[in-house]
Chain A
Amino acid sequence: MPRLRTSYLVALALAFFLLVFLVIPVGKVIYVAFQDSSTGALTLVNFVDFFKTSLFRESFLNSLYVAGMSVLFASIIAMPLAYFTTRFNFGGSILIQTLGIVPLIMPPFVGAVAMQLFFGSNGSVNLLLDQWFGINIPFMEGLNGVILVESIHYFPFILINLSAALNNIDRSMEEAAQNLGSTGMRLFRRIVLPLAMPGYLAGASLVFLKAFDDLGTPLLLNVNNMLATQAYLRISSIGISDPMGYVISVILVIFSLFSLWVSMLASRGKDYSGGGKGSSGLLKRDMKGWEKIGAYCLIIFLLLMVLSPHISLLLLSFGTIWSYSVLPDAFTTAHYAEVFSTTRQYITNTLLYAGIAATFDVAIGVAISYVVLRTKVFGRRWLDYIATGALAVPGVVLGIGYLRTFNDFNVPIIDKPLASWWVIIVIALTIRRLPYALRACTAALHQVSLSLEEASENLGAGKTATVRKIVVPLMAGGIVAGFVTSFATATVELSATLMLVTAESDAPLAYGIYVFMQSAAGRGPGAALGLIAVLVVASGSYLAHHFIERNKRMQATSTGH
């Protein structure tokens, strides 16, 4: 019986945390959407207004179109990369694995500015195209720009999930097809792709969701006719309590949850990962000379393309003046000197906040996944649903919700409103990045065989000891993966933190970049700060990746696979 009580207590604590820091603040904000603005009574008239307004219908369709096209382009980028890494033995695989997740870390503001300088109507690429061929391709105009940036930004979600799925396919699946005369694209289409479909769907639904919800990109590209921008513009205008912003937020949340649900349905009962028998992963082979050249060309082209924001960021951070020219006029290290001499606190704050948030995330992720998968607590699935639902809450909504909920709550001892204490930023980051950590932990726990836990309990270890000594170590790979994703994305989070920063000394990097990017002279230092963020996160991810691999090898040798 004590066992049961512990799991209920844990579940209750989790529920309390989610309620206080997610459900109530968000509820407080979106409640306005259901309020008649003249009487305050509950009503759905605002939703009627929404669908009656052609601008909103258009925005809705634009958001859908952008999300759909982003999935398409992200797939076009991710599929060959995933295929090459899992299919061939060659150096490019490591390159892809290392650099493939860098695009996820696109610092706010500077990322879009850098893209403009590269791909904009008068950016480097178009200036060259104009010079050579007299043409101008509108990469960055209107919805095109949003689609381009979103696909480049989020394709790693597909790359990661698809590669994992491909690596999990039992090798004999492919051999059996070859044995029956199938090969090449036919084999890929008929056997490999369907088997990797659940992984692909998981990644694609994330891309869809992020592109659908994303605010920063359309905002910076000045594309206003999309849902997230409309919501933001209406919420953040001076003095207006227009309920439309909140109506749109509700629609964003509902639609995002719906797309999560659809992707869950689509992959239900299709867990094709190998059951541990036989070797898994595609048949790897070496490439012939000309194949190698072709593959490297394709990969270098794709990597150049997906890393182009970072490349132009690099140029921007070292450039003096970059205006209507292919490259900056001259180069300097002054921007870095400025960043290091004046704004070190941004970097340390970010490491601290993202670090704490990611730690909380994996702790909560492990707890929720354990409660959901291993206990019979009533309503446990809802913990999962609600925590995952955070993925669908726009950052602005969460930020305003926190201001509304916690401004009147003074933290004892320091006697300051919780809403203006730096800890609230950490909590916001924790909530915003929890879904990533949760997914990773759940996947990891799925792979821990129940019998290993039973063996531990059989030898006299209690539930808590079993979790601590057996479950958590076995989940280490997934936990680290969750930590890295949460940490990396928290580092560059902007929307919620911008609302919650109350003191510059407490501000994270994203805020620092924002501040720099508000002045003509700040573009270089802002880019430098952005690049530092990328480097910090990339090296952190690399270390974690290294750790996971080592851990995997250790487990592999100890279990004799």
Chain B
Amino acid sequence: MLLRGSCRTIMGRLALSAGLLIFLALPAQALEKQLTVVTSYPKDLTTAFKQAFEKQHPDVKVEMLKKKTTAGVKYIQETASNNSSDLFWASAPDAFEVLKEDGLLAKYTVKATGIPDVIGSYPINDPDGFYKGFAGSGYGIMWNTRYLKAKKIPVPQEWNDLTQSVYHGHTGMSAPSRSGTTHLTVETLLQGEGWDKGWALMKEIAGNFHTVTERSFGVPDGVNSGQFGVGIVIDFFGLSSKASGFPVDFVYPTVTTLVPANIAIVKNAPHPEAAAAFIEFLLSEAGQDMLLDPKIMRLPVRPETYAKAPKDFPNPFTDHSIGAKVKFDVVKSKSRYNLVNSMFDVMITYRLDDLRKATKAIQDAEKAMAGKDNAEAAKLIAEAKALIAALPIDETKSLDTEFAATFKKKRKKATDKVTGRQAEVEQQWDSMVKDNYAKAVKLANKAKSM
């Protein structure tokens, strides 16, 4: 049974593999309309859309090529010289920005009507016309209800909650360099709270991390299985996990941003017409309805679709508290994309143990000081906190294009010159961060012993 369907293809392939070595002549393949989509989306989402689209266009065969966002970008970059992909379909607008900048996307004007210009405070479509938003998503907090109950941990509501010592060792997040959507969270925090305060908050939260996962899905996976109790995730991970039956729940904190999940036609796409048809389908009412499938759970960009949504489903077009606090500056985000990623990795991902140790020391010291009035100890703790929060560069520098260029070198021609080496810079940061964390531990311990 297993083999029947594929028997013919297998025979064909065996013949082809022989052909590889001797270049045997084979009859040319029948011309059939195809569509290749490079996407970071899970199977539940892609399969549903693939089937629905193929039903509407029976002559087109859709190929869903799943890559992690970063790998997808890499793939399109590496294969650009002989492109075979039609669409790039992923969440993070930044990934589209990278491709756009490399000149690897094609412009397209949407025909569908009835879609607003912004979701939350974020423009739904790329102002330059390269990529289109088809759904909104925002970052939030998900948690495992069994886990929190067993460990008697309160349910978090805001980012600040996650800095409390009760969450130490119970939270998880992905690294922005690994996941485009995680990058958005970090950038949202930096823009919403300001550069210094944002990083300080981020590090305070990170000091409680159980782990920094390599894939963005690693976070919902860890929360779902109870590996850790609380995760910072994009909404649909939380909503779809809950819909799949896991004992988890999800909340949007006040500081979040709704950003569109996007789709774009790749430059020199072999099947541009099928690609356009797919985008139109995605934005049509039928396509938008599918986003409410319990396994998918994304915020549609068509306001009228929300009428069909389940009770309690967040509606950013009516509930303006979601994602309204931050006005996300996509240009700023793009200009320091790699730099922020690198800073996060150097200060948090790769030094997580040191950071955790320092955070724990401070939390212990604070516990020991509770109820006592010791100005000197309080000063030491404040100093330790400042050491942890300290940044190797200020916001101005982060927006200095020449400096940021160190992190996205691409020598297009042999004559191009780029100054500074990323490794050199990271090396300086790393030693500073490591020293600071170690000093913070010492200060906190001193404060505790007072």
| Chain A residues packing against B (C-beta within 8 Å) | 37-40, 45-46, 49-50, 52-55, 113, 116-117, 120-123, 142, 219-220, 222, 224-225, 229, 233, 236-244, 320-325, 340, 342, 344-345, 347-349, 352, 356, 400, 403-404, 407-408, 410-414, 416-417, 419-420, 422-423, 426, 498-499, 501-505, 511, 514-523
Q: How far is the CA of A269 from the CA of B420 in the complex (A)?
A: 51
Do the beta carbons of A514 and B66 come within 8 Å of each other?
Answer: yes
A38 touching B408, Cβ below 8 Å? no
Q: Would you give the 0/1 interface string for B37-48, flagging 1 where the beta carbon is closer than 8 Å to chain A?
A: 000011111010
Take A240-B407, A241-B409 as given contacts and tell me if A113 and B70 are in contact as well, using a CB distance cutoff of 8 Å.
no
Question: Do A54 and B434 have beta carbons less than 8 Å apart?
Answer: yes
CB distance from A511 to the nearest CB of B (A): 8
14 pairs across A/B with beta carbons < 8 Å? A37-B418, A54-B434, A220-B214, A237-B338, A240-B409, A324-B247, A400-B74, A420-B82, A498-B71, A504-B63, A519-B45, A520-B240, A520-B295, A522-B43
Question: CB-CB < 8 A to B418: which residues of A?
Answer: 37-38
Q: Apart from A37-B422, A239-B408, A414-B29, what 6 extra A-B contacts exist at CB < 8 Å? A: A122-B226, A324-B147, A348-B10, A356-B14, A416-B84, A518-B215
Say whether A413 contacts B63, CB under 8 Å. Answer: no
A352-B13, A413-B25 given; A121·B6 CB < 8 A: no
User: Which residue of A45, A53, A504 is within 8 Å of B66 (Cβ)?
Assistant: A504
Nearest CB of chain B from residue A544's CB, rounded to whole Å: 20
Tell me if B212 is interfacial: C-beta within 8 Å of chain A.
yes
Measured in the bound complex, the distance between the Cα atoms of B350 and A502 in whole Å is 32
Instruction: Indicate the member of A50, A240, A400 with the most B CB atoms within 10 Å.
Output: A240
A505 touches B63 (CB 8 A): yes
B217 and A519 contacting across the interface, CB-CB below 8 Å: yes
Q: Give B contacts to A, CB under 8 Å.
A: 2-3, 5-6, 9-10, 13-14, 16-17, 19-20, 23, 25-26, 28-29, 36, 41-45, 47, 63-71, 73-75, 77-79, 81-82, 84, 94-95, 98, 102, 144, 146-147, 150, 177-178, 180, 210-215, 217-218, 220-222, 224-228, 237, 240-241, 244-248, 295, 337-338, 341, 345-346, 349-350, 352-353, 407-411, 414, 417-424, 426-427, 430-431, 434
Complex Cα–Cα for A426 and B66 (A): 19
Residue of A224, A345, A519, A522 touching B349 (CB-CB under 8 A): A224
Q: Per a CB cutoff under 8 Å, which of A46, A345, A511, A520 touches B244?
A: A520
Expressed in whole angstroms, the minimum distance between the Cβ of A321 and any Cβ of chain B is 5
Q: Are A344 and B240 in contact (CB under 8 A)?
A: no
- Chain A residues near B69: list those with CB within 8 A: 238
Partner of A356, one of B17, B82, B221, B408: B17
Residue B212 contacts which of A38, A222, A243 (CB distance < 8 angstroms)?
Answer: A222
Q: Looking across the interface, which residue of chain A has its beta carbon closest to that of B101? A: A239
B427 cross-chain contacts in A, Cβ below 8 A: 49, 52-55
Task: State the CA gap A186–B213 with chains docked (Å).
Answer: 48
Q: List A contacts of B67 (CB < 8 A).
A: 498
The dominant DSSP class at the B interface is helix
How distant is A53 from chain B, measured CB to nearest CB, in Å? 4
Known A233-B178, A236-B74: A54·B338 in contact at CB below 8 Å? no
Q: Taking the nearest CB of chain B, how far is it from the CB of A342, in angstroms?
A: 7
Closest Cβ neighbor of A49 among chain B residues? B423
Q: With A52-B427, A121-B227 as known contacts, state yes or no: A238 contacts B95, CB within 8 Å.
A: yes
Partner of B78, one of A320, A404, A414: A404
Which 3 A/B pairs are nearest by Cβ-Cβ distance?
A324-B226, A519-B42, A520-B241
Q: Find out whether the CB atom of A407 lies under 8 angstroms from the CB atom of B227.
A: no
Q: Which residue of B lies closest to A41 (CB)?
A: B414
Q: Which A residue's beta carbon lies closest to that of B352? A: A224
- From known contacts A237-B341, A413-B28, A504-B65, infer whether A323 and B409 are also in contact, taking CB-CB under 8 Å: no
Other-chain contact of B430, A53, A117, A345 (Cβ < 8 Å): A53
Do B43 and A515 have beta carbons less than 8 Å apart? yes
Q: A233 touching B177 by the CB < 8 A rule?
A: yes
Given A321-B246, A413-B28, A522-B43: A244 touches B422 (CB 8 Å cut-off): yes
User: Given the complex, which residues of B lie within 8 Å of A325, measured CB to CB?
Assistant: 146, 226
Contacts of B26 in A (CB 8 A): 413-414
Whether A222 lies near B84 (C-beta < 8 A) is: no
Whether A522 lies near B246 (C-beta < 8 A) is no
Using Cβ atoms and an 8 Å threshold, which residues of chain B touch A220? 214, 218
The distance in angstroms between the C-alpha atoms of A413 and B25, with both chains bound, is: 7
**Of the candidates A46, A120, A242, A400, which one forms a contact with B225 in the assembled complex, judged by CB atoms under 8 Å apart?**
A120
Contact yes or no, B214 A46, CB < 8 A: no
A113-B225, A403-B79, A417-B79 known; A323 vs B17 contact (CB < 8 Å) = no
Of the candidates B81, B218, B224, B426, the one whose C-beta lies within 8 Å of that of A222 is: B218
Give the nearest-CB partner of B415 in chain A.
A40
Q: Which residues of B contact A121 (CB under 8 A)?
A: 210, 227-228
Closest B residue to A503 using CB positions: B63
For B414, the chain A residues whose CB sits under 8 A away are 40
| Chain A residues with CB under 8 A of B47 | 342
Give the shortest distance, in Å, between B93 (CB) and chain A (any CB): 12
Q: Chain A residues near B424 (CB, 8 Å)?
A: 49
Closest to B417 in A: A38
Asked if B227 contacts A238 (CB within 8 A), the reply is no
Name the residue among A120, A237, A321, A416 with the largest chain B CB count within 10 angstroms: A237
Residues of B within 8 A of A519 (CB): 42-45, 217, 240, 295
Across-interface contacts of B74 in A (CB, < 8 A): 236, 238, 400
Provide the bound-state CA to CA distance between A183 and B423, in Å.
Answer: 58
Contact between A222 and B244, CB atoms less than 8 A apart: no
The answer to whether B338 touches A239 (Cβ under 8 A) is yes
In whole angstroms, what is the CA distance A166 to B170 when docked? 48
**Is B10 a contact of A352 with CB atoms below 8 Å?**
yes
Partner of B426, one of A37, A53, A122, A520: A53
Of A243, A344, A505, A523, the residue contacting B2 (CB under 8 A) is A344
The docked-state distance in angstroms from the alpha carbon of A86 to that of B429 is: 56
- Which of A123, A323, A349 lies in contact with B146, CB distance below 8 A? A323
Give bound CA distance, A344 to B247, whole Å.
31
A-side contacts of B419, CB under 8 Å: 38
B9 partner residues in chain A, CB cutoff 8 A: 348
On chain B, the residues within 8 Å of A412 by CB distance are: 23
Contact assessment for B42 and A222 in the assembled complex, using a CB-CB cutoff below 8 Å: no
- CB contacts (< 8 Å) of B81 on chain A: these are 407-408
A55 to B180, CA, bound (A): 24
Rounded to whole Å, the gap between the CB of B209 and the closest CB of chain A is 10
Which residue of chain A lies nearest to B222 when distances are taken between CB atoms in the complex? A116
Closest to B218 in A: A222
- Is B64's CB under 8 angstroms from A504's CB? yes
CB distance from A307 to the nearest CB of B (A): 20
A503 partner residues in chain B, CB cutoff 8 A: 36, 63, 65
Question: Contact: A239 with B423, CB < 8 Å?
Answer: no
C-alpha spacing A340/B4, complex, angstroms: 13
Find out whether the CB atom of A348 lies under 8 angstroms from the CB atom of B84.
no
Q: Which residues of A contact B20 (CB under 8 A)?
A: 411, 423
B246 proximity list for chain A (CB < 8 A): 321, 323, 520
Once bound together, how far apart are the Cα atoms of A320 and B244, in whole Å?
10
Determine whether the beta carbon of B227 is less than 8 Å from that of A116.
yes
Which chain A positions have C-beta within 8 A of B409? 37-38, 240-241
Q: Which residues of A contact B227 (CB under 8 A)?
A: 116, 120-123
Asked whether A324 lies within 8 Å of B150 as measured between CB atoms, the reply is yes
Distance (Å) between the CB of A439 and the closest chain B CB?
A: 24
- Would you give the shortest CB distance from B290 to chain A, in whole angstroms? 15
Instruction: Kindly report which residue of chain A lies nearest to residue B20, judged by CB atoms.
Output: A423
Partner of A323, one of B5, B70, B144, B423: B144
Contact partner, A54, options B78, B411, B430, Cβ 8 Å: B430
Closest Cβ of chain B to A389, distance in Å, is 23
Give the CA-CA distance A37 to B419 in the complex, in Å.
Answer: 9
B17 touches A53 (CB 8 A): no
Smallest Cβ-Cβ distance to B215: which chain A residue:
A518
- Min Cβ gap A518→B in Å is 4
Smallest CB–CB gap between B101 and chain A, Å? 8
For B423, the chain A residues whose CB sits under 8 A away are: 46, 49-50, 53, 242-244
| 8 Å CB contact of A122 from B147, B218, B350 | B147
